[in-house]
């Protein structure tokens, strides 16, 4: 793969989304070609968006009380990017769904018995690999959540258990990804080098990337500011670290940015918006 593109796409274009290419190819084989087939594929992606919302609740319930998890899930549904995703055929949707499932599996391992803990970690590793295989940059979602757990200070997630679990799942996913790359790419080293170059070659100014972030946030930024003024709890710290790690790298190091590129920050963004809404609700006379 990536041979004979004739300059149509930059080097490394496919290396960061190999899984999505195979996934979409399978859908086309299943649905065929023509307008009806396009409708079927769009319907499948709409279903994936619904599953994404349900999986988000499954993840949030591991971090927040049930009522709060429901509230954040509702906020998530009405964020501009989630509304934009509906029926769109984009790498962001399956990759985010998979990384949410991987993260949820990782968190499940802490409440599981010692016998089942490793099974949850293995599941998290495999699904994390699948997510990164779908779209390489989605890894920042997982790493951001891990870093957020370190500042959450929740007894359910002890520092060293989080560290060891993250090391196991991260190392395993990287090994699987490297094996997949070397098995499927004609020139793995060249493709990976091109991928890194595409991510770091700054062809856009910072103002343009900030504009893309502003379009992602829109008026929900008012609630984010309200959340930052409130005395911080562990959930505040978790969401702030998570959202920063999932967005700042693309502001300072990415060669190109669109609002949808900040999709890795969707869940911590929704948490902060909900915290801001709660602040406004309590201040209302």
Q: What is the pLDDT of residues 178-223, one digit of tens each?
A: 898 888 766 655 556 555 555 556 556 778 888 888 888 898 989 9
* Residue span of the structural domain in which 135 resides: 15-283
Domain membership flag for residue 259: yes
3-state secondary structure of 47: helix
Q: What is the pLDDT of residues 158-179, one digit of tens each?
A: 999 999 999 999 999 999 988 9
Q: What share of the chain is helix, strand, coil (3-state, %, to 5)?
A: 80, 0, 20
Domain membership flag for residue 8: no
N residues, the chain: 285
Q: What is the pLDDT of residues 112-142, one digit of tens each?
A: 988 899 999 999 999 999 999 999 889 999 9
Domain membership flag for residue 10: no
Domain membership flag for residue 6: no
Q: 3 exposed, middle or buried (CB, 10 Å; 0-12, 13-18, 19+)?
A: exposed
Confidence band, pLDDT 50/70/90 cuts, at residue 281:
confident
Q: What is the pLDDT of residues 243-265, one digit of tens each?
A: 999 988 877 766 667 888 889 99
Q: 209 exposed, middle or buried (CB, 10 Å; 0-12, 13-18, 19+)?
A: buried
What percent of the chain lies above the pLDDT cut of 70? Answer: 85
- Give the C-alpha separation, 149 to 278, whole Å: 22
- Give the C-alpha separation, 177 to 126, whole Å: 10
* CA torsion angle 113 57 97 173 (round to 10): -30
The answer to whether the CB of 103 falls within 8 A of the CB of 142 is yes
Domain membership flag for residue 3: no
Domain membership flag for residue 271: yes
First vs last C-alpha separation in the chain: 62
- Give the C-alpha separation, 268 to 76, whole Å: 10
Domain membership flag for residue 57: yes
pLDDT of residue 18: 81
Domain membership flag for residue 138: yes
Q: How many domains does the chain have?
A: 1
Contacts of 131 (CB under 8 A, 6+ apart): 95, 96, 98, 99, 101, 102, 138, 139, 142
Q: What is the chain's mean pLDDT, rounded?
A: 86
pLDDT of residue 5: 47
pLDDT of residue 48: 92
pTM for the predicted model, two decimal places: 0.89
Tokens 């991510």 found at: 199
The answer to whether the CB of 261 falls within 8 A of the CB of 16 is no
pLDDT of residue 14: 60
């Amino acid at each position: 793969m990536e041979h004979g593109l004739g300059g149509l796409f930059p080097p490394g274009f496919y290396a960061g989304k190999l899984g999505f290419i195979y996934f979409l190819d399978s859908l086309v084989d299943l649905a065929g070609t023509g307008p009806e087939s396009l409708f079927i594929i769009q319907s499948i992606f709409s279903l994936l968006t619904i599953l994404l919302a349900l999986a988000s609740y499954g993840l949030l319930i591991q971090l927040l009380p049930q009522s709060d998890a429901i509230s954040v899930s509702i906020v998530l549904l009405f964020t501009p990017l989630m509304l934009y995703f509906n029926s769109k055929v984009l790498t962001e949707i399956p990759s985010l769904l998979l990384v949410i499932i991987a993260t949820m599996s990782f968190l499940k391992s802490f409440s599981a018995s010692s016998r089942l803990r490793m099974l949850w970690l293995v599941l998290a590793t495999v699904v994390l690999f699948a997510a990164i295989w779908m779209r390489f940059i989605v890894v920042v979602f997982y790493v951001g959540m891990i870093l957020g757990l370190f500042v959450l200070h929740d007894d359910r997630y002890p520092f060293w258990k989080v560290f060891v679990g993250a090391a196991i799942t991260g190392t395993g996913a990287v090994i699987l990804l490297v094996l997949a790359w070397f098995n499927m790419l004609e020139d793995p080293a060249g493709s990976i080098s091109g991928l890194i170059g595409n991510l770091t070659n700054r062809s856009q100014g910072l103002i343009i990337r900030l504009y893309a972030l502003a379009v992602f946030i829109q008026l929900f930024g008012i609630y984010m500011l309200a959340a930052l003024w409130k005395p911080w709890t562990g959930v505040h710290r978790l969401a702030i670290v998570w959202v920063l790690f999932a967005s700042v790298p693309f502001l300072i190091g990415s060669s190109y940015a669109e609002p949808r590129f900040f999709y890795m920050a969707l869940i911590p963004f929704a948490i902060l918006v909900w915290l801001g809404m709660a602040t406004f609700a309590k201040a209302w006379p």
